[in-house]
Structure 1
Amino acid sequence: MRSERDIVLPALARLSDTRRRDEAETALIFKRCRLRSSFDSGFTVASGPTRPFNQGLLIRRLISNFCQVEFGRLSMTLNLFLVPAFLLAGVSSLQAADEASALQALKDLNPKKFEVENNDAGQVTSIRIDGCRDLTDEHLRHFAAFPELRELKISHATKFDGSGARYLTDLQHLESLQVGGTRFSNEGLQFLSSHPNLQALQLRHAGVTDDGMTYAAQMPNLKEILVSPKFTKKIADAGVRKLAQSKTLEDLTVEQTFLTYEGSLSAYKNHPSLKTVYLRDVLIGESDIEKLKADHPNANIRVKVLDDKTRPRYQKAIDKHWKN
């Protein structure tokens, strides 16, 4: 009777014969290895406990670590610096299968708009989802299939509250996150507060509050942020003041709220990296604007206050939240 080693290793070796490999062969290999392509499967590495990974992420971890891999009863230690080329050859095709499956799962949610961009190697680098009522935080687990993802935009997804941001923490190339018309909360910002490469953050009409700005300010490489609370009191002076704690911030945009110089904008005086401030459709006094400009003579300061033309659009919210 053939051992599991006799079955698994020849199957892996066949990967060197062709760059393309059908899903049936992949399923056989991973079934024999007691590894499934679902998100609740995992593998054991010498440095830590079992964690959930899809096939592509599994292989990438295998080729970048010294791992102890469990093949049922058979235990194999692989020095991954010496892995033969046939295993490496399977990575791109595994990744392509993972991405295709994840993209289809997202499309099946029937968003009104679904846009994807790829790099020259065909890997997904940008996803924009708009008008997806069925998108929940658990659906963000599919994004583990996009290791090269750099931009993610989710808008008008009312079941999305940000707790699914935990699935984005391993996307080390993610640079830009935009959420709008969602319930994205402070919890989501907390998950992302230590993300090493997140540089641009847009929070329009979301569930984040002043307290959440503490987590945004902790992001080690944050350069641009836009907050737009739609004239609720979720984000105002207290939150904008907390953002001044970010020493990497270059571009600050605040929309549709009430601000004062003493309450928030004075905290940016002598900020080490601030280059641009854009206050759009805000309630702010003229003297406060002049103080802000005086603090930053070399920065680009733009202010668009509410006027008779734009104010009626927000008057109901202003009366509700800022009447006093």
Structure 2
Amino acid sequence: MKNVVMEKDAKQELLGDSATAAEVSDDAGVSEVAAVTKKSWNRRRIGLASTLLLVAVAAAYGGFAFTNSGQAPVSVQPAPLSNQARFSLLKAGLENGTQTALHIDSFEIDDDMLVQLEGLAELETVIVDQGKISDAGIVKFTTFPKLQLVRLRHSPITDQGMATLAECKSLWYVNLPHAACTSKGVGMLRAIPELRQLRIASPKLGNEVCREIAKIQSLRGIHLIDIAVTNEGLKSLASLPYLESLYLDNSAVTASGWRWLYANYPQIHVHVNQSHQDYDPKAHPHHD
């Protein structure tokens, strides 16, 4: 009996803890022991292979990789945020009151994002330098009671959009360098009581816009881009009672027109094609 027990213990030690009582019974022959031993060894190999595979998967997806030396871990950069996700982060700052300005310059925004800003009571500034905004995108501007400054690049705002901006009574600065409005749309801005600065360009604007701008009596600064302003248009602009700064790019004003302006309105700070004219008696180095 003692010999039987010892033989049983020897078999158990050979097979390991995974062997069952049936596999090491007293009646098991040498061939059975060999078969069981082989089965146990195969299970261990499969288990080891599975473990190595899991380790490899974890290394690939667990947020790190190894250098060629096999020692120092290297961080794996997370996937970049989508434009909507980045916009949502900015929107959260506006909603909790920690920010009063929205400035988009590192990713593209669209109409659907902009309309998500409805009712932000503290929003004062909207600057969009990337992406394209249409009339539909600015429909919520009228829900910003403190909106003061709007700059929309690459945005073809038409007369419909200008009518929307005209409802924003707290605005003092409007900058639309890629608009698609007519002079009629620009004239709508006179409904803004304290509008101080207007910068605009549109392929639909010509010299006639000067008469409409002259009706916006509160203006202090004007910048017209690629609009064929004539000498007569210049006189209309100069008639504004509070005009301090006038920038004209690629206008049709002649040398005699400029001389007339400097003689009659020397207080107006003038830039022509982004630089001072030689006729300007107040010409001096200037940084835009």
TM-score category (smaller protein): 0.5 to 0.7
8 Å Cα contact 1:155-1:181 kept in structure 2 = yes
Query: Which residue of the other structure, out of 249, 257, 262, is the alignment partner of 1:288?
Result: 257
2:113 paired residue number: 139
The corresponding residue for 2:243 is 274
Give the count of matched residue pairs: 193
Q: Which residue of 2 aligns with 1:199?
A: 172
- 2:236 counterpart of 1:259: no
Counterpart amino acid of residue 102 in structure 2? I
Which consecutive unaligned segments of at least 5 residues does structure 2 have?
A: 1-80, 276-288
State the 1:151 CA deviation: 0.7
Q: Give the alignment of 1:145-184 within 5 angstroms.
A: 145-158=119-132, 160-184=133-157
User: Which of 101, 109, 112 does residue 126 from structure 1 map onto?
Assistant: 101
Hey, what's the Cα distance between the residues in 1 that align with 2:199 and 2:82?
26
Distance 1:275 1:131 in 2: 33
Q: Does the CA-based 8 Å contact 1:153-1:178 persist in structure 2?
A: yes
TM superposition shift of 1:247 = 1.1
Deviation of 1:145 after TM superposition, in Å, equals: 4.9
Q: Counterpart in 2 of 1:248? A: 218
Q: CA deviation at 1:106?
A: 9.3
State how far apart, in whole Å, the 1-side matches of 2:260 and 2:184 are. Answer: 26
Amino acid at match of 1:245: K
Structure 1 residue 185 displacement after superposition: 1.6
Partner letter of residue 108 of structure 1?
Q
Question: Could you report, residue by residue, the CA deviation over 1:254-306 in whole angstroms, capped at 9, with x for unpaired residues?
Answer: 122221021x2221344221111112343431112222333322221222389
Deviation at 1:208, TM superposition (A): 2.0
Q: Is the 8 A contact 1:156 1:182 kept in 2?
A: no
Q: 1:135 to 1:292 in 2, by over 3 A?
A: same
Q: 1:274 to 1:179 in 2, by over 3 A?
A: same
Residues in 1 aligned to 2:184 and 2:249: alpha-carbon distance in whole angstroms: 22
Report SS of the residue matched to 1:279. strand
Distance in 1 of aligned mates of 2:262 and 2:118 = 43
The answer as to whether partners of 1:116 and 1:128 remain within 8 angstroms in 2 is: no
Q: Name the SS of the counterpart of 1:124 in structure 2.
A: coil
Residue 110 of structure 1 and its aligned partner are, at CA, apart by 6.2
Q: Which residue of 1 aligns with 2:266?
A: 297
Identical-pair percentage: 19
Q: CA deviation at 1:239?
A: 1.6
Contact 1:151/1:176 (<8 A) preserved: yes
- When residues 287 and 109 of structure 1 are mapped into structure 2, their CA distance, relative to the original with a 3 A threshold, is farther
Counterpart check, 1:213 vs 2:186: yes
Larger Rg: 2
* Residue 80 of structure 2 is aligned to residue 108 of structure 1: no
Indicate the residue corresponding to 1:225 in structure 2: 198
Tell me how far apart the structure 2 counterparts of residues 277 and 115 of structure 1 sit (CA, whole Å).
34
SS in 2 for 1:282: coil
TM-score normalized by structure 2? 0.58
Where 2:174 maps in the other structure, the secondary structure is strand
2:145 alignment partner AA:
Q
Cα 1:130–1:187 shift into 2, 3 Å: farther
**How many angstroms apart in 2 are the aligned matches of 1:296 and 1:217?**
23
Is the 8 Å Cα contact of residues 115 and 138 (structure 2) preserved in structure 1? no
